[in-house]
Structure 1
Amino acid sequence: MDMPISLFVEIPDTLHQSLATFLDTRPEWDQDRVFSAAISLFLLQNRLPEQGSDRQAARIYLDSLFGCSNAD
């Protein structure tokens, strides 16, 4: 099972406003789900060729995208 950790990040105000608007119109999403999906997709798209497949990042991305729990 993945253990969550807390992050403190600063993002531009316009990005924060866009995130708030997105979350206000989609009650099934929360900030944690958005960040998990965004970070895992970024890692999948920007992995180094020698890293090969990153099944964990793919799983987290798909679980976040479809609203599934990360529990094993």
Structure 2
Amino acid sequence: MDQISHSKLSDVILDECSSNKVSLETELSETLYNKMKDFVLSNPTWDQYKLINSALATFLVQNGCTDENVSEIYLNQLFTPSKSF
């Protein structure tokens, strides 16, 4: 979790299904940062990159995105078991 700086998230892979990668830097509220950190620490199969990919894919699909790569990320995370936080 050291890779996540307080209130910033950098080097997020937006499309884990292809070789094209884009880095993203954004500010997060302290609450979101702490909840993301807690989730990642308590779920060893997840990391901050997978969490952000999942969140973005879910948002995009729920808002009408029909891209196959985004749908694949969304569907993969639906069927990945994890504890809820």
TM-score by length of 1: 0.74
- The structure with more helix, counted as a fraction of residues: 1
Q: Percent of aligned pairs with the same residue?
A: 31
Q: What is the 5 A alignment of 1:1-72?
A: 2=18, 3-47=20-64, 53-63=66-76, 65=77, 66=80
Report the AA paired with residue 45 of structure 1: Q
- Give the superposition deviation at 1:56: 2.0
Between structure 1 and structure 2, the one with the greater Rg is: 1
Letter in 2 for 1:38: A
Structure 1 distance, partners of 2:38, 2:26, is 19
| Distance across 2 between alignment mates of 1:4 and 1:54 | 16
Residue 62 (structure 1) shift: 2.5
Any gaps of 5 or more consecutive residues in structure 1? 68-72
Please identify which structure carries the higher strand content. Answer: 2
What is the root-mean-square deviation of aligned Cα atoms in Å?
Answer: 1.9
Give the total of aligned pairs.
62
Distance 1:60 1:21 in 2: 22
Per the normalisation by structure 2, the TM-score is 0.64
Higher relative contact order (CA 8 A, sep 6+): 1
Q: Displacement, 1:57?
A: 1.1
Amino acid at match of 2:31: T
